[in-house]
Amino acid sequence: MAFDRPKELLKPIKPRWIVLSFVLAIAVELLPLDATLANWLPDFTAMLALYWTLNQPRRFGIGWSFGIGLIADVASASVFGQHALAYSVISYLLLSRQRQVVMYNLGQQTLVVLGGLLISQFVMAVCRMLLGGPWAGSGYFIGPLIGALLWPLLTKVLLLPQRRGSLPG
């Protein structure tokens, strides 16, 4: 959309880039890591769901977040519907403020993303506690902090295919 980045004209995104980004995020989810290291790894799938909701709201919305969440559920061997619920919720919250947030600069967006990722983790923790699981511990909330710090970088990388003359396709 032309309003997304007022400072430069971008090529329209091809759906295959969206798909490829999610394939990579799920691959990260499948990496054989131990639990402490996995806590430090941000939830890239959630970050991508936020990114595409923010920048391509006509292509990517709550329904897609839900579907991606189901795949993330299987990839992380957690209960069905846990990631799906969390991603739908953050996707909805962001969508309701999308026109505002998309005008923010990257620093301000980072704060919004931090909030979104924390809400996602919180929803998942509450789901598991309602089903009788234990509290995940405060280490569970390190991932969102690192994820938010990586947001500017992620935005720059994901904009590459849309820049003129930078990549073929």
Chain contacts with other proteins (rule: CB under 8 A) = 23, 26-27, 29-35, 38-39, 58, 61-63, 65-66, 69-71, 74-82, 84-85, 88-89, 92, 95-96, 127-128, 131, 133-134, 136-137, 139-140
Nearer to other proteins, 60 or 110 (CB): 60
Nearer to other proteins, 69 or 110 (CB): 69
- Residues in Cβ contact with 43 at an 8 Å cutoff, skipping those fewer than 6 apart: 117, 120, 121, 143, 144, 147
Nearer to other proteins, 110 or 144 (CB): 144
Q: Can you tell me the distance from the alpha carbon of 49 to that of 90, in angstroms, rounded to the nearest whole number? A: 9
Nearer to other proteins, 67 or 152 (CB): 67
* Four-point Cα dihedral 39, 49, 99, 56, nearest 10: 150
CB 80, min distance to other proteins, A: 4
CB 151, min distance to other proteins, A: 21
Query: CA of 17: how far to CAs of 14, 109, 135, 160, in Å?
Result: 6, 22, 36, 10
- Match 């430090």 to its residue by tokens: 40
